[in-house]
Amino acid sequence: MTAADPPDLNNVPNVLDYFATQEPEIAQFAQLLLTDGGNVLAAWGPVQMAVWHLDVQRGDWIVRFHSERGFVEWVTVARAASPSPQWDDFRPIGLSIFIWARANGVPFRLDEPDDIDHDLVAHGRDALDWLSEGHDESFEQVYQAWIGYRHARGGRDGDAVRSLQAHVLATMEAAAGDSSD
């Protein structure tokens, strides 16, 4: 299958069934996007090493569901663009839910920078719609703080990690605060 080929829509139920057995919330979120009329851009699996994949477009954003070797990855998003976004254009949707929640006064627990994998079914669609309203810059600022943390934390433990986490949380909160303007 090439990027120009239409997706195999007959495979969508198989992909959703797989995700439902591994991460029911992710499958439920994918189904909500499809029920809302999301456009399926890719749907395939299983392929070697238990790889399953689904891309759904909602508004200006592509939502990616992916699993390899039986491990379901975080749901990620990228702005729909031409040519198609590359793998490193995708950001964890949890970051968009976090920043949307802060901008809208919705509670969102954030105890440490990687504590972003929750509230997907309840708020994922709202966060995507909010991003489509033009909040890319704040989202990217939060992402840059988060990815910087992911790169910097290696080899640190104890107080060094806690200090880094506190700094990054403050940076993420500041970027999210800027988004409510």
Please list the pLDDT of the chain residue by residue as tens digits (181 residues). 445 567 778 889 999 999 999 999 999 999 999 999 999 999 999 988 889 999 999 999 999 999 999 899 999 999 998 778 999 999 999 999 999 999 999 999 999 999 998 899 999 999 999 999 999 999 999 999 999 999 998 888 899 999 999 999 999 999 998 766 5
- Does one domain contain both 71 and 97? no
* Residue 75 lies in domain: 1-89
- Does one domain contain both 85 and 110? no
- Does one domain contain both 28 and 110? no
- Does one domain contain both 64 and 123? no
C-alpha distances out from residue 90 to 8, 35, 106, 172, Å: 22, 23, 24, 18
Q: How far apart are CA 123 and CA 134, in angstroms?
A: 17
Q: Say what the pTM is.
A: 0.92
Q: How far apart are CA 148 and CA 151, in angstroms?
A: 5
- Does one domain contain both 82 and 156? no
- Does one domain contain both 71 and 98? no
107-149: pLDDT as tens digits? 999 999 999 988 999 999 999 999 999 999 999 999 999 999 9
Q: How far apart are CA 132 and CA 85, in angstroms?
A: 16
Provide the pLDDT for residue 147.
96
Amino acid (one-letter) located at 9: L
Provide the pLDDT for residue 2.
44
State yes or no: cis peptide before 83, omega within 30 of 0: yes
- Does one domain contain both 123 and 102? yes
Q: How far apart are CA 29 and CA 16, in angstroms?
A: 10
Counted domains in the chain? 2
Last residue of a domain, one of 58, 89, 120: 89
- Strand 39-47 relative to strand 51-58, pairing: antiparallel
- Strand 51-58 relative to strand 71-72, pairing: unpaired
- Does one domain contain both 77 and 99? no
Q: For residue 124, what are the contacts with CB-CB under 8 A and spacing of at least 6?
A: 29, 32, 75, 93, 97
90, 64 Cβ separation under 8 angstroms: yes
- Does one domain contain both 82 and 106? no
- Does one domain contain both 74 and 128? no
Q: Residue 136, class by beta-carbon neighbours within 10 Å (0-12 exposed, 13-18 middle, 19+ buried)?
A: middle
Last residue of a domain, one of 89, 114, 146: 89
- How many CB atoms lie under 10 A from the CB of residue 105? 7
Last residue of a domain, one of 89, 112, 127: 89
- Does one domain contain both 74 and 145? no
